[in-house]
Structure 1
Amino acid sequence: MIGPLATALIIGSLVLGALCVIVAARNRPMGMVLLIGLAVLELALLVQAGVGVARVIGGQGPAETATFVGYLIGMVLLPPAAAFWALGERTRWGPAVAAVACLAIPVMVGRLLQVWHGTP
């Protein structure tokens, strides 16, 4: 795990989640800005996942490898799933779905850091 990238993921995801909440509160559908934000977030998540998998393969991984890989997979799948759902739902609830995904990612990143450092 890359600590500074994990911090950036948490902050970026919270900011994007706040933007999604604002768009939903204004009763607007999903827009291009939020989609680009989700794409950038996904790119950063893929980098973190790639580094995590590489370190696990290299023998530097946590004791709970299956849990770690499960969180990595779930974390990487959230933004695309939220984007597809939000695009399909052209009401205020589309950005609300994206907001929930964006607010779940910091929790998953935090849990990944706990698993990585051996905290139960």
Structure 2
Amino acid sequence: MILWFTYILVAIAALGGLLCVVLGLAGRRPSDLTVGILGLLELGLIAQVVISIIAPFAGNPPTGSLLEFWVYLVTAVLIPPAAVVWALLERSRWSTVIMGIAALAVAVMVWRMQVIWTVQGS
């Protein structure tokens, strides 16, 4: 993984998640803004998949469990679309909160992936 890209993904996920939670608690239903935040996060996660495939060949192999890393990454890639589908099917303020919680969960997962890739010994 690339550290600066991890920081960007965590920032997008955390700030977007907090914004979605605040908007949801304020009574706002899913909108282009909230769905767009999760779309941007999803694009970043797809870029992370590509980076994770290329990095070992470029001399940046993981030091932790590769299986654990990929389970985290695949799960993180699946969470934003699932939250958006839920939000578009339900269309209540609580679905906006759920999108925020999903983004916050992805922020934690991305940071954990960084730890698995760089800190742990195999």
The TM-score, its normalising length taken from structure 2, stands at 0.89
The superposition leaves residues 57-91 of structure 1 with CA deviations (integer Å, 9 ceiling, x where unpaired) of x2743241111111110111111111111111111
* Structure 1 match to 2:75: 74
Q: Structure 1: which 5+ runs fail to align?
A: none
In structure 2, how many angstroms separate the alpha carbons of the residues matched to 1:118 and 1:14?
22
* Structure 2 match to 1:108: 109
Number of matched pairs: 119
- Aligned partner of 2:25: which letter? A
- The Cα of 1:118 is off from its aligned counterpart by 3.5
In structure 1, how many angstroms separate the alpha carbons of the residues matched to 2:12 and 2:78?
17
* Structure 2 match to 1:47: 47
Looking at both structures, which has the greater relative contact order when contacts are Cα pairs under 8 Å and sequence separation is at least 6? 2
- Aligned partner of 1:11: which letter? A
- Aligned partner of 1:116: which letter? W
- Aligned partner of 2:87: which letter? A
Is 1:84 aligned to residue 90 of structure 2?
no
In structure 2, how many angstroms separate the alpha carbons of the residues matched to 1:76 and 1:89?
21
In structure 2, how many angstroms separate the alpha carbons of the residues matched to 1:8 and 1:97?
22
* 8 Å CA contact retained: 2:17, 2:104: yes
- Aligned partner of 2:114: which letter? L
* Structure 1 match to 2:5: 5
- Aligned partner of 2:14: which letter? L
What stretches of structure 1 move > 3 A for 4+ residues in a row? Answer: none
The TM-score, its normalising length taken from structure 1, stands at 0.90
* 8 Å CA contact retained: 1:53, 1:69: no
Identity rate, percent: 34
In structure 2, how many angstroms separate the alpha carbons of the residues matched to 1:39 and 1:90?
17
- Aligned partner of 1:90: which letter? R
